[in-house]
């Protein structure tokens, strides 16, 4: 197989991967630098900047908000997304075409337009508290991931297993929990974790919905960057990269990372 690829193309791809990965290496390096400004290669090594993250209360606070929001928003989205994905897969023939398309809308509408519209209608119009607006915004943002990844698992599921459970005396609800759910577990975990990281990294929706006292980590990072240019930002970035690694490990163990190429 290897012989079919021209060496020049291989060399080009090596450069592309260098281009993709070196900026991330630079962040790791500058997070460890013993200087009060960002520099690479690091001059002297220190973990001081990592300690600094937890000393800055704004980072501590927004980190907790972001994680809670990502878990809460994704959980809410899964709770309503799994039944929807089930309906789409199980009743494929009866369900009108547009229903599937509705769940693509949060991807189709530019995130920043969604953020702005939610700010006008929910936060200002209905006077919802910031945390609740953020929760709704993030649940919407990740709903397509939940419905699609769980849907992909359901499309591989043989519904005759469920029918068998029903004909053996299970109620419909019980059949779902004993026959369907265990078989789509991998899809649910992978969908959850992909939705989680999407929510955790979100800027465009959150930037309109954060307000006095309540902010998320990426928004706090943006604000911090405009004032200070010290290695603390790099060390927060490294922490976020650890989260990415954990997410990748979980996706690899459930659906496999090649799922992302489909």
Partner 1 sequence: MPRKLRPWLLSAPALLLVLLFLGLPVLSTLATAFGDPKGPLAQYATFFNSRFRMTVLWRTMEVALITTAVSVVVGFITAWVVAQAPARMKSLLIIAAVFPLLTGVVVRSFAWLVILGKNGILNDFLLWIGVISEPLTMLYTKGSVIVAMIYLFVPLMILTLVGVLEGIPQDLTDAAASLGATPAATFRQVILPMAVPGLIVGSVLVFTGSFTSYATPQLLGGERQMMMGTFLYQRAMVTFDWVGASTIAAVMVVVTLTTVAVMSGLARKLNPVAG
Instruction: State yes or no: residue 135 binds partner 1 (CB under 8 A).
Output: no
Instruction: State yes or no: residue 103 binds partner 1 (CB under 8 A).
Output: yes
The nearer residue to partner 1, 58 or 225, going by C-beta atoms, is 225
- In whole angstroms, the minimum distance from the beta carbon of 223 to partner 1 comes to 11
The nearer residue to partner 1, 73 or 186, going by C-beta atoms, is 73
The CA distance from 213 to 208, in Å, is: 14
Asked if 195 and 142 count as a contact pair (C-beta separation under 8 A), the reply is yes
Stretch that binds partner 1, among 49-57, 163-171, 181-189, 197-205 (CB under 8 A): 197-205
Instruction: State yes or no: residue 173 binds partner 1 (CB under 8 A).
Output: no
Instruction: State yes or no: residue 1 binds partner 1 (CB under 8 A).
Output: yes
Task: Take residue 172 and report the two structure tokens written for it.
Answer: 């419909």
* Alpha-helix runs per DSSP H in the chain: 7-31, 48-55, 57-90, 97-102, 105-108, 111-118, 130-155, 160-167, 172-175, 185-201, 206-209, 217-227, 231-254
Instruction: State yes or no: residue 245 binds partner 1 (CB under 8 A).
Output: yes
- In whole angstroms, the minimum distance from the beta carbon of 47 to partner 1 comes to 19
- In whole angstroms, the minimum distance from the beta carbon of 251 to partner 1 comes to 8
| Cα torsion through 99, 143, 249, 40, rounded to 10 | 130
Instruction: State yes or no: residue 255 binds partner 1 (CB under 8 A).
Output: no
Residues contacting residue 56 through CB under 8 Å, at least 6 positions apart:
232
Residues contacting residue 262 through CB under 8 Å, at least 6 positions apart:
152
Task: Take residue 64 and report the two structure tokens written for it.
Answer: 């907790």
Instruction: State yes or no: residue 132 binds partner 1 (CB under 8 A).
Output: no
Taking each helix axis from N to C end, the angle separating 185-201 and 130-155, rounded to the nearest 10 degrees, works out to 150
Q: How far apart are the first and last CA of the chain?
A: 22
Instruction: State yes or no: residue 247 binds partner 1 (CB under 8 A).
Output: yes
Stretch that binds partner 1, among 56-64, 152-160, 184-192, 218-226 (CB under 8 A): 218-226
Out of 63, 70, 134, 143, the only residue in the binding site for partner 1 (CB under 8 A) is 143
The nearer residue to partner 1, 147 or 188, going by C-beta atoms, is 147
Instruction: State yes or no: residue 53 binds partner 1 (CB under 8 A).
Output: no
Instruction: State yes or no: residue 244 binds partner 1 (CB under 8 A).
Output: yes
Instruction: State yes or no: residue 165 binds partner 1 (CB under 8 A).
Output: no
Out of 234, 235, 254, 255, the only residue in the binding site for partner 1 (CB under 8 A) is 234
């Amino acid at each position: 197989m290897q012989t079919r690829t021209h060496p020049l193309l291989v060399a080009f791809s090596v450069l592309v991967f260098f281009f993709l990965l070196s900026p991330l290496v630079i962040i790791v390096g500058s997070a460890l630098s013993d200087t009060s400004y960002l520099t690479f290669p690091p001059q002297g090594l220190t973990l001081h900047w990592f300690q600094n993250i937890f000393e800055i209360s704004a980072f501590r606070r927004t980190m907790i908000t972001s994680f809670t929001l990502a878990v809460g928003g994704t959980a809410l989205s899964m709770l309503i997304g799994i039944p929807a994905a089930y309906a789409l897969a199980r009743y494929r023939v009866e369900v009108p075409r547009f229903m599937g398309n509705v769940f693509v809308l949060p991807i189709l509408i530019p995130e920043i337009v969604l953020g702005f519209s939610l700010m006008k209608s929910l936060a200002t119009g209905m006077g919802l508290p910031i945390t609740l607006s953020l929760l709704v915004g993030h649940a919407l943002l990740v709903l397509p991931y939940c419905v699609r990844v769980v849907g992909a698992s359901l499309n591989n599921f043989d519904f005759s297993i469920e029918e068998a459970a029903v004909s053996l005396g299970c109620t419909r609800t019980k059949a779902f929990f004993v026959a369907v759910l265990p078989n789509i577990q991998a899809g649910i975990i992978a969908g959850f974790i992909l939705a989680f990281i999407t929510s955790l990294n979100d800027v465009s929706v959150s930037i309109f919905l954060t307000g006095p006292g309540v902010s998320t980590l990426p928004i706090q990072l943006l604000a911090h960057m405009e004032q200070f240019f010290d290695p603390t930002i790099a060390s927060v970035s490294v922490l976020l990269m650890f989260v990415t690694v954990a997410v990748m490990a979980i996706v690899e163990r459930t659906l496999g990372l090649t799922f992302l190429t489909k």
